[in-house]
Structure 1
Amino acid sequence: MINDNIQPWQQNKIVRHSQILMSSFECWTGGTLVNCPGSPEEVAQTLFEAEFALVSHGIEADPIFNYGNRKALQLWELDWEDFTSMASRQSAEEIVQEERDRLLAETAAKGFSHFSGVRISSSSKRFYIEDGTIWNLLDEENKYFGQAAIYSNYKFLD
Structure 2
Amino acid sequence: MIPLHRNPAFYQLLADSYARLLGRPLVPQSMPAGEATEWLYESAPFAVLAHNTDPDPLFIYGNKAAQRRFGYSWDEITGLPSRLSAEAPNREERQQFLARVERLGYEAGYKGVRVTKSGQRFMIEEATLWQLLDADGKQHGQAVVIPRTRDI
Task: Mark yes or no: TM-score above 0.5.
Answer: yes
Equivalent position of 1:27 in the other structure: 20
Shift of 1:16: 1.4
2:112 aligned with 1:135, yes or no? no
Select which of 96, 105, 124 maps to 2:119. Answer: 124
Task: Provide runs of 4+ in structure 1 moved above 4 Å.
Answer: none
Question: In the alignment, does 2:61 pair up with 1:67?
Answer: yes
Distance 1:52 1:35 in 2: 11
Contact persistence 2:123–2:149 (CA under 8 A): yes
Note the C-alpha offset of 1:8: 6.0
> TM-score by structure 1 length?
0.89
The answer on whether the counterparts of 1:55 and 1:72 sit within 8 Å (CA) in structure 2 is: yes
1:153: Cα distance to partner? 1.3
User: TM-score w.r.t. structure 2 length?
Assistant: 0.92
Q: For the Cα contact (< 8 Å) 2:4–2:60, is it kept in 1?
A: no
Query: 1:61-98 CA deviation, whole Å, 9 max, x = no partner?
Result: 11000111100000111110110010000000000111
1: distance between equivalents of 2:28 and 2:126? 20
1:9 and 2:5 aligned = yes
Alignment CA distance shift 1:71-1:19 (3 Å): same
The CA distance in 2 between the partners of 1:36 and 1:28, in whole Å, is 18
Note the alpha carbon deviations across 1:93-144, whole angstroms, 9 max, x for none.
0001111000000000000012100000100011101111100001243201
Q: What is the number of equivalent residue pairs in this alignment?
A: 150
**Which residues of structure 1 form unaligned runs of 5+?**
none
Partner of 2:145 in structure 1?
150
